[in-house]
Amino acid sequence: MSPFPVILSAPSGGGKTTIAKALLARRSDLGYSVSCTTRSPRPDEIAGRDYYFMSRAEFLAERGRGAFAESAEVHGNLYGTLRREVERVLGGGRHVVMDIDVQGAVQFVRAFPQSVTIFILPPSAEILLGRLRSRQTESPAQLAARLQSALQELQQVDEYEYVVVNDDLERAIASVASIVDAEFVSRERVKNLREQVALLIERLEQEIENTTP
């Protein structure tokens, strides 16, 4: 088995986190890479499970050492994915589910080019706006920044290999699961075919050598 990272991106409120959590709860062949952040923990978050919470100085020191596969500043806070976390999950024989934004996805694919990229698309602009506005804790300026981020992410949708419309959560989860399964089968088939071709070439080369006067 050759596991690979699965990148889920979407504008805020698109449902990528919900889909990622559902897949992780249902499939033993998937693992999660815990990300790092400089923001403060929310009341229901646990360090080491939801995020590795770092000071800004700690984060910048790790980034300076090249420890991150991707990192970005979002709404004043730093976020990043440690290479060693990804390698830990892959090394255990599981695909890594990555719940990251477009900016992070571009960096991550450079670090792990075997990644499968999936964009989660909201079913309509009104539903997306409703989800974005539903956070009652945000100021008008924070909402405006989130709307601008959503616009920029939607403009990058063509950079992704797959697009899944989240008009029905269960259907969206099943679609992402099907993509993972299809990619795995395809990659294993190609790997086996290449091995078969290599054996054929080796055998023919031996025969040519034996029959050459």
Q: Are strands 30-32 and 5-9 parallel, antiparallel or unpaired?
A: unpaired
User: Domain total for the chain?
Assistant: 1
> Could you read off the pLDDT of 167-184 as tens digits, one per residue?
999 999 999 999 999 999
Residue 5 · residue 86 · CB < 8 Å: yes
**Tokens in use for 128?**
């997306």
Residue 27, phi then psi, degrees to nearest 5: -125, 125
Q: What is the mean pLDDT of the chain?
A: 88
Tell which residue, 80, 81, 78, has the closest CA to residue 90: 81
Domain that holds residue 181: 5-211
Consecutive H or E run containing 71: strand 68-74
Structural element, H or E, at residue 79:
strand 77-82
| Count of Cβ atoms closer than 10 Å to residue 10 Cβ | 26
- pLDDT bin (cut points 50, 70, 90) of residue 1 is low
Residue of 88, 86, 91 whose CA lies nearest to 115: 86
Q: How far apart are CA 143 and CA 149, in angstroms?
A: 10
Tracing tokens 């449902």 back to the chain, one arrives at 15
Q: What is the rounded distance in angstroms from the CA atom of residue 175 to the CA atom of residue 180?
A: 9
| pLDDT score for 11 | 83
Distance CA 145, CA 140 (A): 9
E strand or H helix at 159: none
Q: What pLDDT does residue 75 have?
A: 78
Tokens 């679609």 belong to: 175
Percentage of residues of the chain with pLDDT beyond 70? 95
pLDDT tens digit sequence for 75-124? 789 999 999 999 999 999 999 999 888 889 999 999 999 999 999 988 77
SS3 state of residue 192: helix
pLDDT at 69: 97
Q: What is the CATH number of the domain that holds 27?
A: 3.40.50.300
Residue 14 has pLDDT above 70, yes or no: yes
Residue 121 tokens read as: 């698309």
Q: Which residues touch 178 (CB under 8 Å, ≥6 apart)?
A: none
More confident residue, 190 or 52: 52
**Percentage of the chain with pLDDT > 90?**
55
